[in-house]
Amino acid sequence: MWSADEIAELCYLHYRTRLPKQGKPDPDREWTSLAAVVKVESSTQREVLASPGNLQVTKEVVAMGTGTKCIGQNKMRKTGDILNDSHAEIVAKRSFQRYLLHQMWLAASHQQCSIFIPGTETGKWKLKPNTIFVFFSSHTPCGDASIIPISEPENQLSKPVTGDDAAGQSERRSNHDHLGPEDKRKSEKTASNHIIKRMKTDDDGYFSVIPEDLTVQQVSVKREDDTNPKSCECSADMQTANKETGLGRPKEVKLLQSDLRFEHSRQAIQEVQTNSKTKLVPCSAAISWSAVPEQPLDVTSDGFRQGTTKKRIGSHQSRSKICKVELFHTFQKLVTSISQEDLPDTLRMKTLETYWDYKEAALNYQEAWKVLRSQALLGWVKNATEYLHFT
């Protein structure tokens, strides 16, 4: 139906043509990582019967993110208005959430262009048939999926570490060198585990209006030459999460590898700058793009919109469109646009006020997340609830 290279090529084209220069790395001295979510729609059964042997598949990038940084714990805010993690995988995930919220608004407004149709339960929706989502990453996600031994035990044979190998190990370390010990502990498993969480739950509990599965079914990864070809599949957490957990989620997520290289990856920039003495550094900015009609693009730095001064931190203008409080407010607007009788029972409670209240009320999400933490993500580090009580 489609290949990993086709997905990668589509994402790289989108990056080149739909994202502006703002937020992209300076190719003379900077690099970044890229991640995206692609919607894949196949022909309906009726269309297949009408035209046998002519299966049409449409692919569209619906969310994209770039970035390599995360803030330290001392910069976290209880107001939910800062991006704690701006790694490409997380930016793409949150951009996808923004896209889904818009699609739910279309569904609630009875617009047929939405990806959702009414579900079997009152106030809930399900994904249209013949639609799946593919997650793409220009690199093996940081966390367990990218753990490559830097040194082997002396009694074991190992291949020499080449220049590319050393560069790859340095790249993975560079994302964490600016963090303190506690921040590193929280960051080290973040990205790959967030992908696993996305596979098995709706991730933030916003989507308590979707009963049926809405999960990433395929993951397409461009693994640079320095990585272990089986590292992502062999992640213990991934293996456990791919087993049946009784949540009604897919038993297994397919992992495919692309051979196309991202033009602004560290390896690609290094090859171009072989004779340069300039030190290569990760790009400080992160780009979020969502397939939404209003302000689809969002460029941030240090957790706030790029260009924000210290005096303006805390203002509405400083917020990223994908920070917790902005996504929460978008969700609240969606809920208030729907009549009470058309809402699911969990959203009819009068006591729901804070982000934490809504998250706790998402019972399906809470059940799925509890099972997943107990079976696969045993080492998940939870943020203190004081950071979730904003309105």
Residues annotated as catalytic (active site), given as ranges:
89
Scanning the chain, the segments in alpha helix (DSSP H) are: 4-18, 45-50, 88-108, 163-174, 181-187, 190-200, 231-234, 236-241, 266-272, 324-336, 355-361, 363-375
Q: Is 270 exposed, middle or buried (0-12, 13-18, 19+ CB in 10 A)?
A: middle
Q: Are 63 and 34 in contact (CB under 8 A)?
A: no
225 C-beta neighbours (distance < 10 Å), count? 12
If phi > 0 it is left, if psi is from -120 to 50 it is alpha, else beta; for residue 94 that is alpha
Tokens at 312, concatenated: 């303006």
Tokens of 234: 């062999």
CA distance 273 to 266: 10
Per-residue DSSP letter, 226: T
Q: List, in sequence order, every residue forming a beta bridge with 299; answer none if it has no partner.
A: 287
CA 265, CA 192: separation in Å to the nearest integer? 18
What whole-number distance in Å separates Cα of residue 294 and Cα of residue 119? 27
3-state secondary structure of 299: strand
In degrees, to the nearest 5, what angle opens at C-alpha 339 toward C-alphas 337 and 345? 110
For residue 34, the cross-strand partners are 66
Residue with tokens 């046998």: 52
Contact 110, 338 (CB under 8 A): no
